[in-house]
Structure 1
Amino acid sequence: MTSTPRRDLRVGLIGYGLAGSVFHAPLIAATEGLALDTVVTSDEERRAQARAEFPDVRLAAGPDDLFARAGELDLIVVASPNKTHVPLATRALESGLPVVVDKPVAATAAEARALAALAEERGLLLSVFQNRRWDNDFLTLRDLVERGGLGDVWRFESRFERWRPQPKGGWRESGDPAEIGGLLYDLGSHVVDQALVLFGPVTQVYAESVVRRAGAEADDDTFLALTHTGGVRSHLHVSSTAAQLGPRFRVLGSRAGYVKYGLDPQEAALRAGARPGTGTGTGQGQGSGSGPESWGVEEESLWGRLGAGESPLTGGGSPVPTRPGDYPAYYAAVAAALREGAPNPVTAHEAAAALDVLEAARRSARDGVAVRL
């Protein structure tokens, strides 16, 4: 007796800007068991882009058109501007549909927890796209920490820095609080989430947040100092104004330190048109490769170094092979959660804990004081 193949879960994607076109659409399409059914965008150029890459995709001009067909879909992905995340996720859940929301899921932890409560009440999946948990450097560091390779970790330094001296404009750099723009909520959502995953809850937050570029409205150079309940101190930097980029990670422990430069290659590969599982990998960080096995792999010269007593730039320490980055693992986990009841890869409660820290950081920077949680 032969079994009937399960049909793919049909996904409606709201938004086809950077998040939708570079991250969500390609990753959804590459995930076994998921099918990109509909893309929502009113922008004609983006509609043409979506149709060119996914010829069978249906297009909708707005969320109303999508939700009118809610019964034909199995998952909604919200990749639209930050201020729309809560209302669109709420609407999806009230329509009886599981939902993935890009980070930050909300402006406040209270809003995130209210969304989580609604999802739990309806018995629906609500997951937050914290893709940087699957960066190559973070996967490598997490493994080092869990294996005790550093001893007791004392300080975690994390930098997500760029050199963009001219503002690009748009909602991400808007000074209107309703837009939830600025680096604190953009890149800060990543570095705070990583710190919490590695070292657990936070008891105190201190932050400095500055608008440095002429014509900029939202914070473009921000520093956070976190005190974790276990004693680890996290120093987190996010900046668009770093003329010299520091190490992505510098982690100091009682036995050794780990220093890693360079960003995970997956975003650059996706922007360049490479796709996981299609024979085009990240090609050792250069945007093209010889097969699916090369996805997320970086060249050996970028491996971090583990050691004590000397700078890695002068030969100190030993190279640590960087684990391949694995953004596809996020949507594979979402599919497993929907199909099999597997764990949610990133819960709204976890996102709310990060928002507690971001809200405290905003208060700290405004008032010039450390904020206890």
Structure 2
Amino acid sequence: MTLRAGIIGFGVAGRYFHAPLLRAAGIPIAAVVTSRPEPAREYLDKVDVLGSAEELMARNDIDLVVISSPNTLHAPQAAAALRAGKHVVVEKPVAATAAEVSDLEQLATQHKRKFTVFQNRRWDSDFLTLKKLIEQDRLGAIYSYHARWDRFRPRVTDFWRDRDAANHGVLYDLGTHLIDQALMLFGTPDWLFANVYTQRENGSTTDGFEILCGKGPLRISIGVNYLTADGGYRYRVNGSRASFLKPGLDQQEPQLRGGMEPNDALFGTEPPEQWGTLVHGESGQREGVTPETGRWVTFYEIMRRAIEEDGPVPVPASQAYDTIRIVEAALTSSAMGCRIDLQPAAPPVSR
């Protein structure tokens, strides 16, 4: 049986992330739900363009539904797709609350379907490089981890991302990537203190945040600001042996938006001026670090095996639950101006 996918939403994420990556992973795209059929037909040729998510979910030739719609639709559309007997990939943020994530996992278990969240930034070049350095103990014991994703976007747009809604704003957007990466490296922190704010004139949703977390002696600092012309370092990670400094962002998004396909030989590679630097503590010697190749398509390769061979999904619901739980704790900390202790929670059982 050939696994066939349908995509709900064909904006930037649907067109430039999911469609190319699905094709590169060998998953045909049978149908797309979009109000703008031209880009879908231009890229996917004879794909069926549908007018509603309900039409897509009713089709018997769709096995996997990829949800790339506005944030507020993620959870209800994921629930509807699972009830319709489809496997589901949903864009981050999966939901506004951890309780909603738990409900979706229960639905997936009930209907015996695979459910996962598109945390593609686990396969960024720089994150893979940092992960390898830590696994090889090149940095020693990690004592401080700083990760940022600053941008210069001073103007509030009329796009849905800049409108006030339960799971809009930069913490739910870029923040879920930064939180997910920190959780993958270090696990759940003991506590956090957060400041989530709006700085831009006429802004109706959050456009910046700072989160400080602690786990034993380790301090984790992540943040985003939309009024930063100089992005500075993406990572500053300090260990007992060395520090790792990394400027710039992973190249897969601009490569995809520029028309490069995931099977291109240069896809996922970084220019030398963006390579990270290892600074050795004892000698102060600086060493250039050859980066790993970024590979977002790994996400869909794992998802394909999960469906065809009943294997594990790339991002279990338990991990998506933990990410949204941290988001909720950060919002509470910011609103109350206090530190939040992150006691162990009972996440849903992952398939």
TM-score normalized by the length of structure 2: 0.94
Alpha-carbon separation, structure 2, partners of 1:195 and 1:154 = 13
1:199–1:232 CA contact under 8 A, matched in 2: no
> Which letter maps to 1:158?
A
Question: What is the CA distance between 1:165 and its match in structure 2?
Answer: 1.1
In structure 2, what is the equivalent of residue 204 of structure 1? 191
Residue matched to 2:205: 218
Shift of 1:134: 0.5
Q: Distance in 1 between matches of 2:109 and 2:58?
A: 23
Q: Which amino acid aligns with 1:68?
A: A
CA deviations on 1:12-55 (whole Å, 9 max, x unpaired) are: 100111221121111112212x10110001x2xx3101001111
1:298 equivalent in alignment to 2:270: yes
Task: Give unmatched runs, 5+ long, in structure 1.
Answer: 1-6, 278-291
Aligned residues: 342
Deviation at 1:310, TM superposition (A): 9.8
Question: Is the 1:220–1:240 Cα contact (8 Å) retained in structure 2?
Answer: yes
Find 2:316's aligned residue among 343, 347, 360.
347
AA in 2 matched with 1:205: L
Instruction: Judge conservation of contact 1:37–1:58 (CA < 8 Å) in 2.
Output: yes
Q: Are 1:162 and 2:155 counterparts?
A: no
2:341 and 2:189 mapped to 1: Cα distance? 9
Match of 1:99 in 2: 88
Corresponding residue of 1:27: 21
CA distance in 2, matches of 1:182, 1:154: 30
Matched, 1:109 2:102: no
Q: Which residue of 2 aligns with 1:233?
A: 219
| Residue 62 of structure 1, aligned match among 52, 71, 78 | 52
Residue 151, structure 1, aligned to residue 140, structure 2: yes
What TM-score do the two structures reach when normalised by structure 1? 0.89
- Aligned 1:1-373 pairs, distance under 5 A: 7-32=1-26, 34-41=27-34, 43=35, 46-69=36-59, 71-177=60-166, 180-228=167-215, 231-277=217-263, 292-309=264-281, 316-373=285-342
Q: CA deviation at 1:95?
A: 0.9
RMSD value, Cα: 1.5
Instruction: Work out the CA distance in 2 between the residues paired with 1:310 and 1:65.
Output: 63
**1:310·1:317 contact (CA, 8 Å) conserved in 2?**
no
Counterpart residue identity of residue 56, structure 1: K
- Residue 293 of structure 1 aligns to a residue whose secondary structure is coil
Unpaired segments ≥5 residues, structure 2: 343-351
- Identity across the alignment (%): 40
Preserved CA contact (<8 Å) 2:87 2:114:
yes
Check the 8 A contact 2:191/2:339 in 1, yes or no: yes
